[in-house]
Structure 1
Amino acid sequence: MGSGTWLQLLLTLGALWGIGARETQLGILGEPTLLQIPRKFQECTEEFGEATWKKTMEGSQKKTILLKISGGNVTEYKRERMRFHRGNFSLEILNTSRDDERLYEYSISKGPEEELWQIQLQVFEPVADPNIQILHRELSNGSCSLSLLCTSERGDEVSYSWDSWDNRTRGICSGNGRVLNVSYSLWNDSIRCVCTARNRVSSRDVAFDSSQCGSEQRGVPGVRTELLVPLVALGVIVIIIVAIVTVRATHSAKCCQVPSQVTPIGATSATIYAQVQKPKGTVPNAAPVSCTTIYAAATGPPLATDGAPRSPAASPTPRGHPQDTTTVYASVTLPVA
């Protein structure tokens, strides 16, 4: 058997051995991922001191060297993204990305032989906290029938399952998939269905409280509990505003009322200040006269016999425009003797 045949046989056995020495590891998107080797490979690395970390795409012949160990010296080619742990020769990816989903190889040189350990890395985005929505609700004969939808906004290969909060009602909420159809009596207020969203790297759950069905009428959507307090507060504010507006309107109406005693249209009202002075000289057979101020209120013409005001002919007053009140100052002087 020639040397070429031996070489081909050695490569074939190495390939078969390499397939048997492969493992699958899961990485979480955005988090560190630690690539480890078995204890046997750690001992061989300490004994021979020659090893290499590489990565390649599945089915590709091109490989990228990430780290090389030779004679106790370590050379790192991706220090900004990876960290080497000398204690167990593991390689840590600091911030796992989609591009890190590759086939990684750790090879040990044992003279003319080489031992290989392969790690197939699969990267998953973790699931986010799920939400439960009510697709359909129906009340009938004291029972509530619901159709619930459970969804998670993020995550790779997410699966959904339903279960009860406790063992007493396990059969009511059991199911798989996003949608759950459940029916229960309104008198039973202890039903809590739990939806779990999971994938291969994470799991999150959320509970649905059966009291949300409440005592609502059929076909009428219910008011959520968290909205009840704001609605009540808004109603109180509206009532207070209406009461304030009503009180102000009543007060304004009272202030603007016309007095019950109205001066007839066309009548005039005036106040006359008259000063009567003492005459110069002496008036015989007259008692001394002192200066007197007379205040007299003058009004319009007297009423007629039928009660209507009598307008002066000289200065008629237009109908509908009452004459304003006027103050007249008159000086009256007695004749000089």
Structure 2
Amino acid sequence: MGCSVCLWLLISLSRVWGMGRGARETVLGTLGKTTILRIPPELQNLTLRFGAAVWKRDTEDPQSKLVLLKYLDGNYTNYMKERTFFHKSDFSLEILSTSRQDRQLYEYIVSKGPEEKVWQIRLEVYEPVSDPRIEVLSWAPANGSCTVTLNCTAERGDNVFYSWGSRDTGTSGLCSGNGSLLHFSYPMQNSSITCACTASNPVSSRVVTFNSSECSYEQGGSAGLRTKHLVLMVLVPIAAAMILTGVFVAIHLVTPTAGRQQELARDNAVHTIYSQVQRVEKPKGAPAAEHPSCTTIYAAATGLPPATTPAPGRAPRPPCNPPTEPPAPSHSQSPDKEPTTVYASVMLPVA
């Protein structure tokens, strides 16, 4: 709070010094609000006398300036109608919605014959301070006193300055300090302690209070987190991480077992054998073949093959004749010459 007063005095002195030299002053603008750039009465009289003036602004290029407005004999041309408004009564320029890009050096130039009178204004733009809040970082009784550490913060604002004080004259010395942190102790027999935090910058100021009737976490105002809440905020994420880790390990232990079961299922799967042979056509009047004709076989094989030794009393079956190239199908072929299909179950040969 005291620093804000010092800054205001410094700005006031700079304005007086600037008017004495007729050169420059500093204006503080609030982000998102209107800002008026005024000229001293001396330049107003010169404008009425000579009737020619212009408003200019610096740009990113130091070799060029942006012309905002021209005034000549009671008439004016505003080149930034959507951004500025010209007050003809005192020749001031109003910025309708101040932005950070408006933070520039402005000039008001009055032409008086062969000479020019220049007035410069440096515009500084600040975001206002939001409502602050107080957090209890630590709070514990010790030797008949209560020791407290508080933290005051504001979420928004440019160049925020924090100061502490008390509105109770009996405890004014306990809550004095500068900066966001405040560490103090007070006798436990005190019935009430009230501390106020002020968050301020050159264009705004906000106050929040901390109240306590005993050395506990029960407190008023806008005090923040308690110690037990901080403990929960640490322990809960750790417990959740441990649970997730256990689930992840269990999944990885089960996955290999499932994979082995799938491999066993593939080993026990039924294998299908496709084999096609052509029946040998018997010529008319020829004796019967000594062995049966070969046919197309679709065989489903599972498990190990049985012993290949033929049953007692049965002669081994002669092998089929090698298949010959099947004749091309013909519509005139009789039905008894069509190949037949046999479905048989055989066992896989031993590797």
Shorter-chain TM-score: what band?
0.5 to 0.7
Change in CA separation of 1:43 and 1:117 when aligned onto 2, cut-off 3 Å: same
Q: Is the 8 A contact 2:22 2:118 kept in 1?
A: no
Return closer, same or farther for 1:148/1:138 CA change in 2, 3 Å cut-off.
Answer: same
CA contact (8 A) 2:85 2:95 kept: yes
Q: CA distance change for structure 1 residues 33 and 138 in 2, over 3 Å: closer, same or farther?
A: same
Q: Which amino acid is 1:70 matched to?
A: L
Which amino acid in structure 2 is aligned with residue 203 of structure 1?
S
Distance 1:18 1:57 in 2: 27
Name the amino acid aligned to 1:134. V
Q: Which structure 1 residue ranges, 4+ long, deviate > 4 Å from structure 2?
A: 16-20, 220-223
In structure 2, C-alpha distance between the alignment counterparts of 1:203 and 1:180, rounded to whole Å? 19
Q: Report whether the alignment pairs 1:61 with 2:63.
A: yes
Partner of 1:168: 170
In 1, the alpha carbon distance for the partners of 2:199 and 2:217 equals: 30
Partner of 1:120: 122
State the SS of the aligned residue for 1:172.
coil
Alpha-carbon distance in 2 for matches of 1:116, 1:212 = 63
The 8 Å contact of residues 197 and 204 in structure 1, kept in 2 or not, is answered as: yes
- 5+ residue gaps, structure 1, are 1-15, 224-337
Deviations 1:292-327 (A, max 9, x none): xxxxxxxxxxxxxxxxxxxxxxxxxxxxxxxxxxxx
Structure 1 residues 212, 103: closer, same or farther in 2, change over 3 A? farther
Change beyond 3 A, Cα 1:51–1:184: same
Pairs within 5 Å for 1:31-50: 31-50=33-52
Q: 1:1-337 maps to which residues of 2 (within 5 A)? A: 21-57=23-59, 60-211=62-213, 213-214=215-216
**Structure 1 residue 40, shift from structure 2 partner:** 0.5
Describe the superposition over 1:50-107 as per-residue Cα deviations: whole angstroms up to 9, x where unpaired. Answer: 0000000488121001000012111000011111111100000000000000000000
CA contact (8 A) 2:128 2:204 kept: yes
**Retained in 2: the 8 A contact 1:33–1:95?**
yes
User: What is the CA-CA distance between 1:190 and the residue it aligns to?
Assistant: 2.5
1:191 positional shift: 1.4
Cα distance change on mapping 1:17 and 1:196 into 2, 3 Å: closer
Say which SS state the counterpart of residue 44 (structure 2) adopts: helix
Structure 1 202/184 Cα, relative in aligned 2: closer, same or farther at 3 Å?
A: same
1:71 partner amino acid: D
Amino acid corresponding to residue 72 of structure 1 in structure 2: G
Alpha carbons 2:136, 2:227 under 8 Å: kept: no
For 2:203, the aligned partner's letter is: V
- Contact 2:24-2:122 at 8 Å conserved across structures: yes
| Aligned residue identity for 1:202 | S
Q: 1:181 to 1:52 in 2, by over 3 A?
A: same
Cα distance in 1, alignment partners of residues 154 and 68 from structure 2: 36
| Partner SS for 2:172 | helix
User: How many angstroms apart in 1 are the aligned matches of 2:193 and 2:60?
Assistant: 49
Report if aligned partners of 2:105, 2:120 keep a CA contact under 8 Å in 1: yes
Looking at structure 1, the residues matched to 24 and 153 of structure 2 have their Cα atoms a distance apart, in angstroms, of 35
Please list the CA deviations of residues 15-43 of structure 1 after superposition, one character each: whole Å capped at 9, or x if unmatched: x9998610011000000000000001011
SS of alignment partner, residue 171 of structure 1: coil
1:100–1:209 Cα change, 3 Å: same
Q: CA 1:51 to 1:212, structure 2 compared with 1: closer, same or farther past 3 Å? A: farther
Q: CA deviation at 1:187?
A: 2.3
Aligned to 2:287: none
Residue 172 of structure 2 aligns with an amino acid whose one-letter code is R
Q: What TM-score do the two structures reach when normalised by structure 2?
A: 0.55
CA offset digits 1:150-209 (Å, max 9, x no partner) = 000011111111111122211110011111011112321231011111111111110100
Q: Deviations over 1:221-275 (max 9, x none)?
A: 579xxxxxxxxxxxxxxxxxxxxxxxxxxxxxxxxxxxxxxxxxxxxxxxxxxxx
Instruction: Give the TM-score, by structure 1 length.
Output: 0.57
**Structure 1 position 214, deviation (Å):** 3.3
Contact in 1 for aligned 2:111/2:117 (Cα 8 Å): yes
